[in-house]
Structure 1
Amino acid sequence: MFRTIEEQRRVIGKARQATVRARRRSRKNDAPLNELLDRILPFTLATTEEAETVDYAVPVQAFNVEEW
């Protein structure tokens, strides 16, 4: 009976270790690469700089396909 309990404890310990290792590996794979960040950051900065200011005092011009 005691051998069975010890064996179950070993099984649980090995399962915990395997789970921790798997979580660590998945975190490493999910982390963004510096190369991607270099591509993303200039794009976001460029889009915020190119935003137009809207003058709400000017009447809206409809496109030819719009019905007003």
Structure 2
Amino acid sequence: VDLVGGYYDAGDHVKYGFPMAFTVTILSWSVVEYAKELGATNQLDYALDAIKWGTDYFIKAHSQPYTLWAQ
């Protein structure tokens, strides 16, 4: 299973699901709330890429209907 992506926690080499989910959620809400400002400063695409990096990892970690790869 290709588990490239997602975010490591606190400089470790472990990808904790709950902190990563919280981070992606807050980043997503910031895009909802500040899309105009992010667009005006040419940062919107970077924020969307960061969200996609995390969510793509979660999708890949759920490789089968009853399988979830976790650390």
Higher relative contact order (CA 8 A, sep 6+): 2
TM range (shorter): 0.3 to 0.5
Q: Larger Cα Rg: Structure 1 or Structure 2?
A: 1
Q: Which has the higher helix share?
A: 1
Give the TM-score normalised by the residue count of structure 2: 0.32
Give the TM-score normalised by the residue count of structure 1: 0.33
